[in-house]
Amino acid sequence: MIVAPRTATLPGPFRLDGGGVLEDVEVAYEEYGAPGPGHETVLVCHGLTTDAHAAGRHTWIDRAAGWWDAAIGPGKAVDTDRYRVLCANVLGGAGGTTGPGSIDPRTGRPFGLRFPVVTVGDMVAVQAALADHLGIDRFHAVVGGCLGGFQVLEWMARFPERLERAVVISATPRTSAHNLAFFEVLRQAITRDPRFAGGDYYGGALPEDGLALAAMFGAVVWLSRETMERKLGVTLVEGTKPRFTLGPEFTAQAFLADMLLILPMLGINAFTPPKQEDPSDQVQPVGSENDKFDTIVVPAREEGFKQRFLNENCWFAVRIYAKHISKLKFIAAYQVAPVAAITHIAEVEAILLYNDTGKYMIKFKGPATAIVPIPRPENSEVNMQSSRYALREKLLAAKNLDEVWT
């Protein structure tokens, strides 16, 4: 199912529960199924780490479908043959709706922490305004899990006359001291990162260390013990004998150590920065314009690596400096886990813009070639959380990552 992202501008002012006021609010949303009368529409409310892209794909080459694609579609639990389905990114979210990354009309800069604090009630008020904008008087059902479940509860309290049914998943009408403490740890991890810069990090470096710590802690809490045993087990990262180092010895530790690379696998995109005019600024640059390189080394998660890099001879959503495209003749894959090493290289056939993301899709001339793994030393300062440029000749001669970039 191919779907198109949509936006709606809702006229303000919006007076928030905490006393803040927003003028016009832009809302990102998606619709699935055939439009129909309001009582035949189902509103799906997303959770903390997801957005409006609940089902389908934006293009046929997208690597992953929407976060609830298993439940939304023809003949599925939320049947698009029977209902019109709506999902909107919440107020304050990072998926296209007005939030901290939006431009403050008073300053011409992103709001950052100057964006007013929003409540679940504020999120629901904006959803109701979107429904008005779309001509929807009453929902057949409002459905949501986690943070989405809290939104459903708020719909029941604020607008009971506007929904016929409510489906609350994994949410309660009140929180607990344990939950408050848990989220305080996540908040402190992010805000104590020096690169958080008081919330004014837009256009600069992300607070990656804080995000990684928050994601690590979240993964341990959100993934059950049984799930981690099934997916990771008590297995060594390399070989059959421990290395007796302070680096990750076991797969579960390596999984957390490279957390920033696997945030999308956990559905965590709430911290994605706004798209900049030059979207390639996330690539780790070469030292100078005279540095020689002909290869881009990309970090790859296991499932995407096998499906795309090896089977489909391509790679998606790569940030590249536009002026460097003509120099790139090869692409190499750094496998995040379980090996933590560069393992394959392929010759580049074409580098094409990938949708409207400002990133690129790289097509290979043929299947990638396996090479002798080039591992990351345990105390290496080489950061493989984003792509890096390299020289193929030097890469193939290297025994570890440090030798590739020294």
Element (H, E) at 209: helix 208-222
Rounded-to-integer distance, Cα 313 and Cα 43, Å: 38
Neighbours of 325 (CB within 10 A): 15
Give the range of the structural domain holding residue 245, as residue numbers without chain letter.
Answer: 177-266
Rounded-to-integer distance, Cα 356 and Cα 349, Å: 21
Residue-level pLDDT at 337: 74
The sign of the torsion formed by the CA atoms of 355, 359, 365, 368 equals negative
Is the pLDDT confidence value at 7 over 60? yes
Element (H, E) at 155: helix 147-158
CB 98 within 8 A of CB 12: no
SS3 of residue 179 by DSSP: helix
Query: Domain ends where: 237, 266, 295?
Result: 266
- Tell me, yes or no, whether 300 and 215 share the same domain: no
> How many domains in the chain?
3
Query: Domain ends where: 169, 199, 233?
Result: 169
- Tell me, yes or no, whether 247 and 284 share the same domain: no
- Tell me, yes or no, whether 70 and 111 share the same domain: yes
Q: What is the mean pLDDT of residues 204-226?
A: 83
Cβ neighbourhood burial of 326 (10 Å; 0-12, 13-18, 19+): exposed
Residue-level pLDDT at 37: 56
- Tell me, yes or no, whether 255 and 297 share the same domain: no
Could you report the per-residue pLDDT of 333-384, keeping only the tens digit for each? 999 877 889 999 999 999 987 765 667 889 999 999 999 999 988 888 787 8
Cβ neighbourhood burial of 80 (10 Å; 0-12, 13-18, 19+): buried
299's tokens: 């970090």
Could you report the per-residue pLDDT of 171-202, keeping only the tens digit for each? 999 989 988 998 899 999 999 999 899 998 88
Is 1 a domain residue?
Answer: no
CATH number for the domain harbouring residue 244: 1.10.1740.110
Residue-level pLDDT at 277: 37
Could you report the per-residue pLDDT of 312-325, keeping only the tens digit for each? 899 977 888 778 88
- Tell me, yes or no, whether 136 and 158 share the same domain: yes
Q: Which amino acid type is present at position 96?
A: G
Closest CA to 183 of 222, 150, 152, 156: 222
Distances in Å between the Cα of 256 and the Cα atoms of 49, 219, 253 are 18, 8, 5
pTM of the model: 0.64
Closest CA to 205 of 213, 214, 218, 196: 196
Residue-level pLDDT at 285: 46
Rg for the chain, CA atoms, rounded: 23
- Tell me, yes or no, whether 104 and 224 share the same domain: no
240's tokens: 């059959």
- Tell me, yes or no, whether 102 and 136 share the same domain: yes
Could you report the per-residue pLDDT of 270-314, keeping only the tens digit for each? 344 334 333 333 455 444 444 689 999 998 877 678 878 998 899
Cβ neighbourhood burial of 167 (10 Å; 0-12, 13-18, 19+): middle
Q: Is the peptide bond before 338 cis (omega within 30 degrees of 0)?
A: yes
CB 14 within 8 A of CB 22: yes
Please, how many CA atoms are within 13 Å of residue 340, restricted to the half-sphere of its CB?
26
Cβ neighbourhood burial of 265 (10 Å; 0-12, 13-18, 19+): middle
CATH number for the domain harbouring residue 34: 3.40.50.1820
Beta bridge partners of 45: 144
Residue-level pLDDT at 283: 53
Is 292 a domain residue?
Answer: yes
